[in-house]
Chains A and B, each alone.
Chain A
Amino acid sequence: MTLRTFSRFQAVWCCLLLGLLAGPVPAQMGYDVPDGGAFRYGESRPLTTLDPITSNSMESLRLCELIYESLITQDVRGNFVPQLAETLMVSPNGLDVTVKLRKGRRWTSHFDKNLEYEFTAEDVAATVKAIKNPNSIKSPYLAANLKQIESCTVRDPFTVVFRLARPNVNPEALFTFKIIPGRALPPGEKIITKSCALATSSPVGTGCYTAVLTQDAEVRLKVNPRHLPRPAHISSVKMICELDPSMLKGKLQGGNIDAIIDVPVTDIRTYDDDFNFQVKAYNSMTFDYLALNHRHPLLKQKAFRQALTLATDREGIIRQQYLGNGAVISGPYPPASAWLNLDAEPWPYDPGAAREILDGLGLRDTNGDGLREYQGRPIVLKAKIPVGLDRENTASRTMNFIQANWRSVGLGLDIVPVEFRVLRNQLFNYHDFDVAFQSWNFDEANDVSSLFATDSYPNNYVSYSNYQVDAAIAAIKAARDHDQRVALSRNLHGILRDDCPYVFLWSLKKCAAISHKIKNVEIHPFRFFTFIDQWFIPYDLQTE
């Protein structure tokens, strides 16, 4: 049926149907949405890079979400939808993916007008080539993901064909990496280096905002007026870094910023009770853990690691340190993960059982100083914790609690605060630790393979190796059937729960506190700003 043959009666029916399909219109969208205003938000860690390929921090990832786009993104309901892609077609054998690109998208730069040109298939191919280039620096997850893409061929200026390494009938998630402008990369062999323009201070993107000032502690962005399908409503965004959480809180309450991305759980109630703020919980796939160095002669023993878990009063810490805003975990899966094995119960807090295990390992306190000995010397583990300006932070209070727990079973723990960037270097590059208090953030795929596979560098920095786990990860990656993959992942959860590669601690509630003047706020639980183009500020509340 063509439009020309539409009768008036049929048109009425169609409108009725479309109305039913669309559902109720949000009240706040019932009037003309105003453009303009400034949004300022606070982070507790400084910017490391604005290059989406090399970024490996949540602060950078959130900013990159404002500046860059990907072929595929997610809508507010979590469905994969095209962004720079227009259509995505998978061949019947699941090996070839043809992506038609949207026309009229342009690269925008505040710094270099020569880099403002139309987005084409060449940019997609250059991005893939740069990520796959073994000489490029890159985020470890991208390298792992792009292994599944064998090649990327430009068919015409707006069509690319990806050849996958293995059949995949639902490959959308593979194409959520950010696309960078090919012309910003060195000519010839595409390579990403630290001196590359993208990685410094002049990013070039197709996203809804353009960076106009980039410093470690402050990034300013203005709306991209040529962004399609339409520019974002809010005119400017500013990221302000404040290492001291109490200063950040003061800035929000004093009206100097409009939002804190990750509110300390102890402050959630404060903002909840304040009518100036909206507290938005987002279901982040995050968990905290104690990393155990498996090169240590005791920590490589499964029974010893189990004893550490049994000796840690995780429920008590959540109650006292985090006011109950968290859930104890039994493995690397937060409660909302699809891979969670509900039958894998967390180890209980049972110091008696821990003592029995330690006794069974022959670790006894022979000189009565309260510490068990190993090879004639008292067992004192070195626990490193990240600190910024706030040396008396939640991490140190938590570790003090664990120190007391472990001391009660005869194990010593020295707490060593280390500046957070230095600590990451010590852990990931030099393995210089016994125990470290750390956290992982996942996107919805919650893929833990890089954490525990024997040959996985750098995420398996604890040097964990278990052939059962390696086999389980290989089976999951090979599984084509979704239900089979769920079953295998839950089996992996069971193995990890028993083997305790980490002391799995908890998954804390994640909340953002946002000024009530910002309207229509939807948050992506991992990338955060995915839906910012729909946010707006009423005229009477706008400030510049």
Chain B
Amino acid sequence: MSRNFLVAAAVLAAVWISGCGPRYIIRGTIVRADGQPPPETYKITVHTDPPTSYVKAAADGSFRLRKDLKEMVDYRIFAEVEGRPDSRGEVRDVRLNKLNPVCDIGIILGDVMEMDAAVHFRERQTKGEGGVVIPSDPGQ
């Protein structure tokens, strides 16, 4: 019986360990509602699991952050601009997996500014070689 307990514990540990790891890029841009870049540099707080990371937005409003997140379904991620408690935006039920990892965050900063961010899965399935490339019409 005790051996089965050990096996069960080992399986659970393996599942837990394998659940950690893929690396994501969180990137986005803060823009004013009128489409212009923000007039000053902002510090963005991105709350994820594992939790909070800080990233400084550049003068043109763009920011990016490398982060190791757990791959899981029904993810939750939100971001805010430091010092602007009215800036919080949130996306629920984000499906972060190897095939469809993109989500968008829309944040309204008061009634003045808006932030859009996207989370991109970085480690797409790239094992092996080969690959398909097909031409198509641009600008859909």
Supposing A265-B140, A477-B129 touch, asked if A338 and B135 sit within 8 A by C-beta, the answer is no
Q: Which of B11, B99, B131, B137 is within 8 Å of A442, CB to CB?
A: B131
Task: Give chain A interface residues in 427-458, CB to chain B under 8 Å.
Answer: 428, 437-448, 450-451
Interface of chain B residues 74 through 116 with chain A (CB within 8 A): 97-104, 116
Complex alpha-carbon distance, A176 and B129, angstroms:
11
**A148 B126 Cβ-Cβ under 8 A:** no
In the bound complex, residues from chain B placing their C-beta under 8 Å from that of A393 are 139
Given A173-B129, A394-B140, A444-B126, A56-B134 contact (CB < 8 Å)? yes
The number of residues on chain B lying at the interface, defined by a beta carbon within 8 Å of a beta carbon of chain A, is 44
Q: Is A144 an interface residue (CB 8 A)?
A: yes
- Asked if B43 is at the interface of the complex by the 8 Å CB criterion, the answer is no
The total of chain A residues at the interface (CB under 8 A) is 87
A338 touches B139 (CB 8 A): no
Given contacts A74-B99, A79-B98, A443-B131, contact A57 B136 (CB under 8 A): yes
A247 to chain B, nearest CB (A): 15
> Does A513 sit within 8 A of B, measured CB to CB?
no
Is the CB–CB distance between B27 and A335 below 8 Å?
yes
User: Do the beta carbons of A283 and B101 come within 8 Å of each other?
Assistant: yes
Q: Which of A105-113, A123-131, A164-172, A251-259 contacts B (4 or more CB under 8 A)?
A: A164-172
| A74 CA / B125 CA spacing, docked (Å) | 10
Interface residues of B in 37-67 (CB under 8 A from A): 64
Confirm or deny: A321 has a beta carbon within 8 angstroms of a beta carbon on chain B.
Answer: yes
User: In this complex, what residue of B is CB-closest to A317?
Assistant: B139
Q: Does A3 make an interface contact (CB < 8 A)?
A: no
- Residue A13 contacts which of B4, B118, B130 (CB distance < 8 angstroms)? B4
Closest CB of chain B to A56's CB: distance in Å?
6
Chain A contacts for B133, CB-based, 8 A? 141, 440-443, 447-448, 450-451, 459
CB-nearest residue of chain A relative to B122?
Answer: A338
Flag if B131 contacts A173 (CB, 8 Å): yes
Is A319 within 8 A of B122, CB to CB? no
State which of A17, A264, A450 has its C-beta within 8 Å of the C-beta of B11. Answer: A17
Task: Kindly state whether residue B25 has any CB partner on chain A within 8 Å.
Answer: yes
Q: Which of B1, B71, B116, B134 has the most CB of A within 10 A?
A: B134
Q: Please determine whether B120 and A283 come into contact, CB atoms closer than 8 angstroms.
A: yes
Given A21-B15, A74-B125, A336-B122, decide whether A56 and B140 contact each other with a Cβ distance below 8 A: no
14 additional contacts, CB 8 Å, given A10-B4, A424-B135?
Answer: A21-B15, A44-B140, A61-B132, A145-B129, A145-B131, A171-B129, A264-B140, A289-B138, A337-B124, A338-B123, A442-B133, A477-B129, A509-B102, A523-B99
Q: Bound state CA distance, A324 and B104, in angstroms?
A: 12
B131 and A508 form a contact (CB under 8 A): no
In the complex, are the beta carbons of A482 and B126 less than 8 A apart? yes
Rounded to whole Å, the gap between the CB of A54 and the closest CB of chain B is 12
Q: Give the contacting residue for B35; candidates A74, A141, A289, A319; CB below 8 A.
A: A319
12 interchain pairs, CB-CB under 8 A: A44-B137, A61-B134, A263-B140, A289-B138, A324-B31, A338-B126, A438-B135, A444-B131, A450-B133, A451-B133, A482-B126, A505-B138
Pick from A21, A61, A76, A324: contact of B99, CB under 8 Å: A76
Answer whether residue B12 sits at the interface, using C-beta atoms and an 8 A cutoff.
yes
Name which residue of chain B comes closest to A166, CB basis. B129
Cβ–Cβ < 8 Å partners of A445 in chain B: 126, 128-132
> B124: which A residues are within 8 A, CB to CB?
78, 285, 336-338, 444, 446
Selected from B99, B116, B118, B131, the residue in CB contact (under 8 A) with A446 is: B131
Q: In the complex, what distance in Å separates the CA atom of A486 from the CA atom of B123?
A: 10
